């Protein structure tokens, strides 16, 4: 009779210990099932970390039209052609370094306000059919269905102004550019909030891809905390490999404070005992680990709060390619510069010298094309 298997924390730590390139063995096997080389992914995670440390960048910041050609709206007025295009470009490229909406919800441009997009799909190829055939009988039809996603764009716009008393008798182009950039960042902040809401709403995920930890299961001190099993369980429920993990600083600190994660990761000779974002990404096979520290002031409040909840970790498969399956997609109307249109005008009745206004407008709609391409864990932090 064989000896009974001893299950204790030490043996669990040895079983879950990262391999030579820092990855959980079960995660590595699952990545291979998707056709992803675990070692190549580990090298990309390490290279991305080095690149981000050197440039403080590396993420998608604003929409890029992959399918259309740049266009300039016709105008008889020379100033309108040149200045408007420059101002629209300023609106497109103004962002804060902390913005992550375009990274986790890539934009796809469309040419109509309402419509249907056909998704690239391989699920029909996995369907079982009765394929027995006779010499004279008919052959069963293996009919393919078309997977689609519907969108209905929502018009959005914000405007701001500066008085000519502040700007001088006539505004300089630089001062108008700054006004457009400020207004654009305010508009993009609203999009960040919408993306956060979509990413952290548990009902946007399939029921099998949601895990809600109870009070004693939180990672920062819960007596029944099992962070590795939590992560492996929801990762296994996803229909595609996880490319992004998004969490607030508080949720990340809960992971750092967990004894189980620290003991497993500290088994690597190169680790100093502190769980880093790169270690977390390597161990669970996630190329992008985003620890979000953005703050915002909610409607009806004067106090700032964290944008992302303190106890939630969102795991996403993100694919920016057109018509590709991804967890969250932002459909934008093709117009202006990268979907943003800028309108400026002078109001002589505003103030003693009048004021110059700038409006930044765009049309967009956030859609969840496939709720199996993401997973969520709530209750991570007490």
**pLDDT on residue 354:** 86
> Residue 145: pLDDT above 90?
no
Q: Give the confidence band of 38 by pLDDT, cuts at 50, 70, 90.
A: confident
Q: Is residue 138 situated within a structural domain?
A: no
Question: Pick from 374, 367, 370, 342: which is nearest to 73 by CA?
Answer: 342
Average pLDDT, the chain: 84
The CATH number given to whatever domain includes residue 330 is: 3.90.1690.10
Query: At residue 32, what are phi and psi to the nearest 5 degrees?
Result: -60, -35
Per the model's pLDDT, the better-predicted residue between 267 and 292 turns out to be: 292
Q: Is residue 133 situated within a structural domain?
A: no
Mean pLDDT lowest among 6-15, 80-89, 246-255, 309-318: 6-15
Cα–Cα dist 64/109, whole Å: 9
Complete DSSP assignment for 76-125? S-HHHHHHHHHHHHHHHH---TT--HHHHS-EEEESSSEEEEEPP--GGG
Q: Give the confidence band of 188 by pLDDT, cuts at 50, 70, 90.
A: very high
Q: Give the confidence band of 232 by pLDDT, cuts at 50, 70, 90.
A: very high
**pLDDT on residue 1:** 44
Q: Is residue 276 situated within a structural domain?
A: yes
Q: Is residue 259 situated within a structural domain?
A: yes
Mean pLDDT lowest among 17-26, 28-37, 88-97, 146-155: 17-26
Cα–Cα dist 226/9, whole Å: 11
Q: Taking a C-beta distance cutoff of 8 angstroms, is the pair 248, 295 a contact?
A: no
**pLDDT on residue 270:** 64
Structural domains counted in the chain: 1
Question: Pick from 62, 31, 61: which is nearest to 44 by CA?
Answer: 31
**Mean pLDDT, range 358-369, rounded to an integer:** 95
Q: Is residue 8 situated within a structural domain?
A: no
Q: Is residue 9 situated within a structural domain?
A: no
Which tokens hold the place of 277?
């974002």
Q: Is residue 77 situated within a structural domain?
A: yes
Q: Is residue 141 situated within a structural domain?
A: no
Structural domain range at position 292: 27-119+148-378
Residue 365, helix vs strand vs coil:
strand
**Residues in Cβ contact with 294 at an 8 Å cutoff, skipping those fewer than 6 apart:** 98, 99, 100, 192, 306, 307, 308
Query: At residue 240, what are phi and psi to the nearest 5 degrees?
Result: -150, 160
Q: What is the pLDDT of residues 334-360, one digit of tens each?
A: 998 889 999 988 888 887 888 889 999
């Amino acid at each position: 009779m064989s000896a009974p298997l001893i299950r204790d924390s030490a043996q669990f730590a040895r079983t879950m210990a990262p391999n030579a390139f820092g990855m959980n063995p079960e995660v590595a096997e699952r990545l291979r099932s998707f056709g992803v080389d675990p070692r190549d992914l580990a090298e990309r995670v390490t290279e991305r970390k080095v690149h981000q440390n050197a440039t403080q960048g590396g993420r998608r910041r604003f929409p890029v039209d992959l399918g259309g050609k740049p266009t300039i709206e016709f105008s008889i007025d020379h100033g309108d052609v040149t200045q408007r295009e420059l101002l629209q470009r300023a609106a497109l490229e103004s962002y804060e370094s902390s913005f992550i909406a375009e990274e986790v919800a890539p934009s796809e441009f469309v040419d109509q306000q309402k419509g249907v997009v056909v998704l690239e799909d391989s699920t029909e190829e996995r369907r079982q059919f009765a394929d027995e055939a006779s010499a004279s009988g008919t052959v069963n039809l293996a009919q393919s269905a078309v997977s689609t996603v519907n969108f209905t764009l929502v018009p959005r716009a914000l405007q701001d102004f500066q008085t000519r008393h502040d700007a001088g008798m006539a505004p300089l182009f630089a001062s108008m550019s700054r006004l457009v950039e400020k207004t654009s960042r305010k508009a993009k902040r609203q999009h960040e909030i919408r993306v956060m809401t979509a990413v952290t709403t548990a009902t946007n995920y399939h029921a099998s891809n949601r895990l809600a930890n109870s009070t004693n299961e939180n990672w920062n001190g819960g007596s029944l905390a099992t962070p590795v099993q939590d992560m492996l369980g929801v990762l296994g429920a996803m229909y595609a490999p996880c490319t992004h993990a998004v969490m607030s600083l508080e949720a990340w600190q809960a992971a750092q404070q967990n004894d189980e994660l620290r003991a497993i990761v500290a088994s690597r000779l190169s680790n100093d005992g502190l769980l880093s974002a790169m270690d977390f990404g390597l161990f669970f096979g996630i190329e992008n680990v985003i620890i979000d520290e953005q703050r915002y002031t909610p409607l009806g409040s004067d106090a700032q709060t964290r944008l992302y909840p303190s106890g939630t970790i969102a795991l996403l498969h993100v694919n920016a390619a057109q018509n590709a399956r991804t967890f969250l997609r932002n459909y934008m109307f093709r117009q202006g510069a990268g979907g943003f249109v800028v309108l400026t005008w002078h109001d002589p009745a505003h103030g003693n010298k009048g004021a110059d206004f700038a409006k930044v407008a765009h049309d967009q709609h956030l859609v969840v094309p496939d709720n199996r391409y993401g997973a969520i864990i709530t209750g991570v932090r007490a």
